[in-house]
Structure 1
Amino acid sequence: MSERHELLMQVDGMTCEGCVAAVTRIVRKVDPQADVAVDLAHGRARILTTAETLEIAAALDKGGYEAKAMTM
């Protein structure tokens, strides 16, 4: 099993609490055990996951959000 790591991602396109729920749901489809904390005001998501950054970003892009990794 892969080790969990923290990702900080800029997620553009979020406008409401429904988007927060959608982003969380999308990430958990990739990694059901992920811890997801979405900051709607700043358009960011902090994710503790075993998934790769590109995997999460691709899933969010497919879900209609533009996501890119940020450095911590």
Structure 2
Amino acid sequence: MNNPPSGELNLIVTGMTCQGCVGTVRRVVGAVPGVEDLVIDLDSGAVRVRGAVDAEAVMAAVRNAGYDVCRV
């Protein structure tokens, strides 16, 4: 399981085209247990998640919201 005590997960999310998309990603990622902080950059698609999170759970939440995601 990918569940660090407290760490940082960096992702690239493709398909975000507006602030509404950012809000959706913020909502679904923020609902994953362990998320303490979340920073999203619309222009680059970069998403930084801090906290004790399961990377696969975060990525699944993003995919279920309709976006492509990869870990960097």
Normalising by structure 1, report the TM-score. 0.86
The aligned counterpart of 1:42 is 44
Instruction: Indicate yes or no: 2:15 matched with 1:16.
Output: no
Structural RMSD (CA): 1.4
Aligned positions, number: 69
Gaps of 5+ in 2: none
Does the C-alpha gap of structure 1 residues 21 and 46 become closer, same or farther in structure 2, counting only changes over 3 Å? same
The aligned counterpart of 2:53 is 51
Q: Distance in 1 between matches of 2:35 and 2:56?
A: 17
Matched AA of 2:5: E
Structure 1 runs of 4+ with >3 Å offset: none
Normalising by structure 2, report the TM-score. 0.86
Secondary structure of the residue aligned to 1:26 is helix
Note the alpha carbon deviations across 1:5-35, whole angstroms, 9 max, x for none: 1011010110011111111110111136431
